[in-house]
Structures are given as structure tokens and as C-alpha cells.
Amino acid sequence: MDAFLVSGPCRISGELAVSGAKNAALPAVAAALLSERPVSLDRLPAVADIRTMKKLLSGMGVAVSGEAPGTVTLDASRIVSTEAPYDLVRTMRASILVLGPLLARFGEARVSLPGGCAIGVRPVDLHIMAFEAMGARIAVEKGYIHAHVSRVGPGRGRLTGATVRFPMVTVTGTENVLLAATLARGVTTIENAAREPEVVDLAALLVSMGARITGAGTETIVVEGLESLPGMEAPHAVLADRIEAGTYATAAAITGGDVTLRGAREEDLPAFVAALRAAGAEVSTSEAGLRVSRDGPLCPVDVETAPHPGYPTDLQAQWMALMTQASGTSRIVETIFENRFLHAAELVRLGAQVRVDGHTAFVSGPARLEGATVTASDLRASAALVLAALVAEGETLVRRIYHLDRGYAAMEEKLSSLGARVARVPG
Ligand code: UD1
């Protein structure tokens, strides 16, 4: 298993190209299942989750080709299976995103239940509820979701447009229904829809494939279903990864550095950028992207995670790392996931002062961090440990970096290019 060996402390500076967003690329790849016509995507990030999604589609008979790194053409004209097997789904929860497209185009799908993960139970009941509202019959047997639409009766194997009101905001739930609704009979209205930029990017891709969608980015999305999607004319470039950008922005702030993040957009991260400024960092927007630097001291800033445009849960762990260096006590409230403070105990191993009480963490600083061996527990927690290691005295070994590789492209190379000392080592 790989680990990162980080030698600190350091100050990072320079310019970095932000990769395509993992969380936009995953539904984009799944979207290819909707059409007989090829779907071409640009700026796919080189991360493990995207490789898993491509493998999942290959297993279904999708021809996957790509001439250059980051580009792919997916041809789903000859599907041989509508099943997503446990072996792949268990490594990546977002595999559930194939359920909507398969059900919409073929009237059936068999998708393994994702199961639990380190950051909580994360059920898929809202996805199931939505597809039932659209006319699917769903049974859960032997760990698999069996979904089908009756071939007799009004739908004749096609989903029926419906009003789907989510009782809580769900990002992949919204995306799954959005995908499926493009091929449903009639109009689907998604209420209390997720407003994340990744949802907007997916809608833009689907529209380029011929779908009829309005309202993406608002609470209500309306989709007029079509019998088939006519196909796209030009490749769709996946939007820049705002979580990766936020992670490197935090790296600049924690090390007192100065980094320009090419492709990053402030409007994708309003609450995070506001918190960063309040903490004492300078953030400016230019044509190129976002520039983040810090000269003065770090101030404690409280954050509470919330659906977009609120503070993203995917930048909560990184904020905890940053706050270990602020002068005073800050409070971090996690409202989206029930078990997302696993990084706290590992940060404490480096010398951080963090107390967790239920959904709230209290961080006192500035703490003098010292290198140690720590273990990554999930994707964003891994990033928090690397950020803390950048300012810790001496060597930190961050183990189980495979979590990090799921969502960050070549982090050791990107950080090294900015002057950090980070090496991938066995461990
Ligand atoms: C997506 C992101 C993930 C991010 C999360 C919240 C992808 C691939 N992943 O995950 O990085 O952390 O949004 O911004 O885009 N819930 C249910 N039942 C459901 C679905 C969700 O109870 O059927 C709950 C979840 O347990 C959680 C909350 O709803 O408490 C929000 O989860 P959701 O937005 O669905 O997260 P994901 O889409 O899985």
C-alpha cells in the first residue's frame, strides 16, 4: 500500500492547473448509458474513482476509448448487461449513478447496494423512492437493488415523468433522477433539488446530448423526457474541481504561501472563500482563476457544513487542519454526514488540539504540530492529514493513501511543484 512521506514545515507558492471535477465526471460518464450515440468528455481527472466508473461501464458492454489523457469517448450502442456488481460498487458508492440511466433506457437494472463507508451509513432510499414515483418496481434482494419498469401497461418499459420532492438535499439522488428523467415519458419536476455546480455541469452535458432541462442550479429542475437522445456535436469539458481547488487553497493558507489555481471559480465556493478571507487569507479572482495567499496571522473561523451554496462537507476536514494553526478556538459543525470527524483523532496524533462532541468539533490553536505516522480514513480526511503535515516539524507518514488517490490526481506531484516535500513511498 502506498503512503505519503511529507517533510515539513514548508511554504508553497506558484501556479497549479485544477483538474476536472471527480464529482462532475462520475455522473458524466454514467450519462453515456443513456444514448446509442457516443458521448465524448474532456478534462476527466486521472483519479481512481473515474477508472472504476469506466470499468463499470466496460463490464456492461460500453466501448471506452480515449486518445489523450483526460479525454474519453463512450459508446453505449451495444449493452450486454444492466448489472453493477458488488465488487465495483463496494469500492465506490457513486456507482449508484448507473441505476437511473439503465432503468430509463432499458427498463431494468440490477445494482449492488453500496453498503456503509467510513463516513457513515449513507443510504440510497431517496433514489429508490424517486424511481418508484416514476413507475419503477424495486426490490432489494441478496444485497442487490432490482429495478424494472413493466413492459405491459401505460409505460411499456419506460419510466413516467413525475414530481419528485426530496425531503433532504441529495446530490447523487438529484443527478440520478435528472439522468433518468431525460428519457422518461412526460415531464419530471425535481423539487428541493441539489444546487451544486456538479449538478449544473451534468445538466449542461445532458442538454448537449439533446435533453430538455430547465432550472439546474435552482431548487426546482424540470425535465421534458424524450424517446431517445439525439447525440452531441462537440465533447463536453468537465468543470474544474472546486474541492481540489479548495484543498490547495487551504494548503496556501496553512503554509502562509501564495498559489494561483488555474480554472478555479469563486462562485463555485462562496462559503468556503468567505471563510478563508475571514481567517486572514487573501483571495482574488482573475481570468486565470483564483489566487490565494496569506501573510498575517490566522484567525479562528467557525463553519457549519450545508448543501450548496453553503460550506461544503467535502472541505470540512481540510478546514479543521487549517484551524489548528489559528490563534483561538473555532467550532466546526458537520450537518451532512454523521461520522465525518475521523480525521480529528489523527490530527491530534500530530499535536492538534481538537475535541469532538457529537456533530461539533472544537479546535484550539495555534498548535505546534510534529511529524508522526498517521492513517487516512477517507478521501477528504486524507487531504486534511497532508495539509497538517505540510506545517508539522519533521517527517509525517500518511498511510493508506489509496483513499486520497480516489479523488485527487497526483497530489504529491502537484504539491512538490509548489515547493512542498511530498513523496509517494511504500507503507
Ligand atoms: C455527494 C458527493 C460527496 C459529497 C456529498 C455531499 C458525489 C459522487 N459525491 O455524495 O462527495 O460529500 O454529495 O455534498 O457527488 N441520504 C439519504 N438517503 C439517500 C441519499 C442521501 O439519507 O437516498 C443522505 C445521506 O446519508 C447524507 C445526505 O443525504 O446524510 C446527503 O447525501 P448526498 O448528497 O446524497 O451525498 P452523495 O450524493 O452520496
CB 201 less than 6 A from any atom of ligand 1: no
Which amino acid appears at position 73 of this protein? T
User: Which residue, by CA, sits nearest to atom 3 of ligand 1?
Assistant: 314
pLDDT in tens, 102-119: 999 999 999 998 865 565
Is the pLDDT at 153 greater than 90? The verdict is no
Q: Is 326 exposed, middle or buried (0-12, 13-18, 19+ CB in 10 A)?
A: buried
Q: Domains in the chain and their CATH numbers?
A: 2-19+241-426 (3.65.10.10), 22-237 (3.65.10.10)
Peptide bond into 154 cis (omega under 30): no
C-alpha cell at 197: 455546480
pLDDT in tens, 261-316: 999 999 999 999 999 999 999 999 988 899 999 999 999 999 999 999 999 999 99
CB 126 less than 6 A from any atom of ligand 1: yes
Is the pLDDT at 123 greater than 90? The verdict is no
User: Which residue, by CA, sits nearest to atom 20 of ligand 1?
Assistant: 124
Is the pLDDT at 185 greater than 60? The verdict is yes
- Residue among 98, 138, 172 to mutate when testing ligand 1 (max atoms within 8 A of CB): 172
CA 78 – ligand 1 centroid, Å: 31
User: Which residue, by CA, sits nearest to atom 15 of ligand 1?
Assistant: 23
Number of H helices, E strands in the chain: 14, 24
pLDDT in tens, 207-217: 999 999 999 99
CB 174 less than 6 A from any atom of ligand 1: no
Please identify, by atom number, the ligand 1 atom nearest to the C-alpha of residue 49: 8
Phi, psi of 416 (to 5 degrees): -65, -35
Which amino acid appears at position 155 of this protein? G
H-only helix segments in 148-220: 171-181, 197-208
User: Which residue, by CA, sits nearest to atom 39 of ligand 1?
Assistant: 172
The Cα-based distances of 349 to 148, 316, 353, 371, 372 in angstroms read: 50, 19, 9, 9, 7
Q: Is 167 exposed, middle or buried (0-12, 13-18, 19+ CB in 10 A)?
A: exposed
Q: Is 296 exposed, middle or buried (0-12, 13-18, 19+ CB in 10 A)?
A: exposed
CB 76 less than 6 A from any atom of ligand 1: no
CB 94 less than 6 A from any atom of ligand 1: yes
Q: What is the pTM of this model?
A: 0.97
Q: How confident is the model at residue 172 (pLDDT cuts 50, 70, 90)?
A: very high
Collapsing DSSP to helix, strand or coil, 167 comes out as coil
Quote the pLDDT of residue 415: 98
Quote the pLDDT of residue 333: 98
Q: How confident is the model at residue 234 (pLDDT cuts 50, 70, 90)?
A: very high
Is the pLDDT at 27 greater than 80? The verdict is yes
CB 116 less than 6 A from any atom of ligand 1: no
- Residues identified as active-site: 117
Query: Average pLDDT, whole number, for the chain?
Result: 95
Mean pLDDT computed over 198-221: 98
CA 417 – ligand 1 centroid, Å: 33
